[in-house]
Amino acid sequence: MDYWCELAWLPPGEVVSGVLVTVDGSRISAITPETADPPPGAVVLRGLTTPGFANTHSHAFHRALRGRTQADRGTFWTWREQMYGVAARLDPDSYLALARATFAEMALAGVTCVGEFHYLHHAADGKPYDDPNVMGHALITAAREAGLRITLLDACYLTGGIGTALVGTQRQFGDGDAVRWAARAEDLAKAYRKTPEVEVGAAIHSVRAVPPEQMTVVVEFAHQQASPVHAHVSEQRRENEACVEAYSATPVQLLHDRGALGPRATAVHATHLSNVDIALLSGSTTHVCMCPTTERDLADGIGPARALLDAGSPVTIGTDSQAVIDVFEELRAIELDERLATGKRGHWQARELLNVATAAGHASLGFPDAGFLVPGAWADLVSIRLDSVRTAGASKPTAVESAVFAASAADVHSVVSGGRRIVAEGRHMLGDVGGMLADSIGALHE
């Protein structure tokens, strides 16, 4: 299959006209720049075409909360109680429906690979299903049906807070201890070892939920699988204070001491960091996932993204709570939030931000051969309109800036994921995604 791109973003960050992308199966087999006209039979992609986007941090079920947590002032902790309420109503069938619709919404926004941070392992009363991994299978099925690759980050979640037991809905998250978590996660990983579109990784939910002595088991699992390991880190000041009080160390220092940092690791949020934390993350080349739309929705704060990148940590983005699903909004928020925090402009160039959503994001999810338009890479193509009311006036020299700082998810008109065209003319192959979302969310709130 041939795709002719009016404009394409090619390594090392150059916009090129008339790029012919030849796809063989799930991979790009050839790139031919500056072809004057599309050859017969080629699919014509107008506007700017980039590699597919990676959504490094997602909780699919949080999509059911959008718009329902804004009526009262609340805090992160009151929001969490509402989230628990949704979790308690999910079962494998309803989770499949909701996740499939949510992942389809991501596809419409240009996402071709999602990192799903998964901890809804068991029934609401905490009892395992007959298949202890049925919820994980539902998420993987949902992603594949929506056309996405998925890294299922199976989360170890053992305590309700530092030194406290799981209570209520939290019981459906826990496996008792890390050894039992690893045995279940190993069974899940075995099921997908021959499925190239699926990666099963590990997650330490947080220092609140995994005691230090249990973290080592999770890290060892990730090493044995050669898989990514992610963790929520320093999202809340209260989390940092409790960690220092209990362990005389920050969350980053605790993870470092337990061997949980490194090139295959990702620290999610990393909002409230000390200079020592930044040095530990960057010195270990740990990825850092920023989730700006969730951070601002929950009033969590602004993380030091530029300082982390300059020090050596690759930066990625995630939609986390699904407050919105719009990669462009996440990207420009990294720059715009730093402008508000510092009173200065120009922390990030548009091409750097686009790399955050492409090459860096895919690498953090265990797909280092994605996020580039080069032969041999995964055939992921996202085409962005440059003639909408948001992007009209864009030109070749400013195409990337127009996309990153002006476009929205609505400007994505075509998405090819792993060689399969899953979005054409702004419509997902599954049909009415809005209707799918309304039905799956409505069923949970009846």
* CATH at 105: 3.20.20.140
Same domain, yes or no, for 241 and 375? Answer: no
Domain match, 310 and 375 both: no
Q: Please give the pLDDT value at position 77.
A: 75
Identify the active-site residue in 57, 205, 230, 269: 269
76/186 same-domain check: yes
- DSSP for 364-399, written as a single string: HTT-TT-SS-STTSB--EEEE-SSSTTTTT--GGGH
Q: Do 111 and 181 belong together in one domain?
A: yes
- Please indicate, yes or no, if residue 20 is contained in any of the structural domains: yes
Q: Are strands 43-51 and 27-32 parallel, antiparallel or unpaired?
A: unpaired
Q: Tell me how far the alpha carbon of residue 45 is from its chain's centroid.
A: 25
Cα–Cα distance, 369 to 238 (Å, whole number): 38
Q: Is residue 11 domain-shared with residue 90, that is, in the same domain?
A: no
Is the sign of the CA dihedral 263, 268, 269, 273 positive or negative? negative
Counting beta carbons within 10 angstroms of the beta carbon of residue 72, is it exposed (0 to 12), middle (13 to 18) or buried (19 or more)? exposed
DSSP 164: B
Q: Is residue 438 part of a domain?
A: no
Residue 227 domain boundaries: 53-364
Residue 436 within a domain: no
222: phi then psi, degrees, rounded to nearest 5: -60, -40
Distance between first and last Cα of the chain: 45
Which CATH number belongs to the domain containing residue 392 in this structure?
A: 2.30.40.10
**From CA 443, how far away is CA 398, in angstroms rounded?**
45
Residue 205 lies inside a defined structural domain of this protein: yes
Relative orientation angle of helices 92-108 and 134-146, to the nearest 10 degrees: 30
Identify the helix (H) or strand (E) that includes residue 49: strand 43-51
- Tell me whether residue 43 is in a domain: yes
- The CA distance from 243 to 253, in Å, is 10
Please state, in angstroms and rounded to a whole number, the distance separating the CA atoms of residues 206 and 103: 24
pLDDT of amino acid 75:
78
Helices (H) and strands (E) in the chain, counts: 15, 16
Whether 442 maps to a domain, the answer reads: no
- Give the C-alpha separation, 181 to 197, whole Å: 23
Based on the residue annotation, tell me whether 297 is a catalytic residue of this protein.
no
Give the model's pLDDT for residue 69: 83
Cβ distance 121 to 203 under 8 Å? no
Same domain, yes or no: 103 and 184: yes
249 closest CA partner among 231, 276, 268: 276
264 and 403 both lie in a single domain: no
Q: Is residue 123 part of a domain?
A: yes
User: Among 400, 410, 423, 414, which residue's Cα sits nearest to residue 9?
Assistant: 400
Domain count, the chain: 2
| pLDDT for 159 | 98
Residues 6+ apart with CB under 8 A from 36: 18
- Same domain, yes or no: 395 and 325: no
Residues 286 and 391 in one domain: no
Quote helix, strand, coil % in the chain, to nearest 5: 40, 25, 35
Pair 119, 24 in one domain? no
Asked if residues 49 and 381 have their Cβ atoms less than 8 Å apart, the reply is yes
pLDDT (tens, 9 = 90+) of the chain, 446 residues, equals: 999 999 999 999 999 999 999 999 999 999 999 998 999 999 999 999 999 999 999 999 999 999 888 877 777 878 888 889 999 999 999 999 999 999 999 999 999 999 999 999 999 999 999 999 999 999 999 999 999 999 999 999 999 999 999 999 999 999 999 999 999 999 999 999 999 999 999 999 999 999 999 999 999 999 999 999 999 999 999 999 999 999 999 999 999 999 999 999 999 999 999 999 999 999 999 999 999 999 999 999 999 999 999 999 999 999 999 999 999 999 999 999 999 999 999 999 999 999 999 999 999 999 999 999 999 999 999 999 999 999 999 999 999 999 999 999 999 999 999 999 999 999 999 999 999 999 999 999 87
CA 77, CA 173: separation in Å to the nearest integer? 17
> Catalytic site residue 300?
no
pLDDT for 73 equals: 74
Domain match, 276 and 254 both: yes
Question: Is 437 a member of any domain?
Answer: no
Q: For position 341, what pLDDT does the model report?
A: 94
Q: Pick the catalytic residue: 175, 300, 320, 411?
A: 320
Q: Which residues, at least 6 apart from 379, have a Cβ–Cβ distance to it below 8 Å?
A: 21, 23, 25, 26, 27, 28, 416, 418, 419
Last residue of one domain, picked from the residues 364, 385, 406: 364
Residue 123 and residue 164 in one domain: yes
pTM exceeds cut of 0.85: yes
Amino acid at 82: Q
Nearest partner of 268 among 297, 244, 300, judged by Cα: 300
Q: Where are the alpha helices (DSSP H) in 165-229?
A: 178-191, 212-225
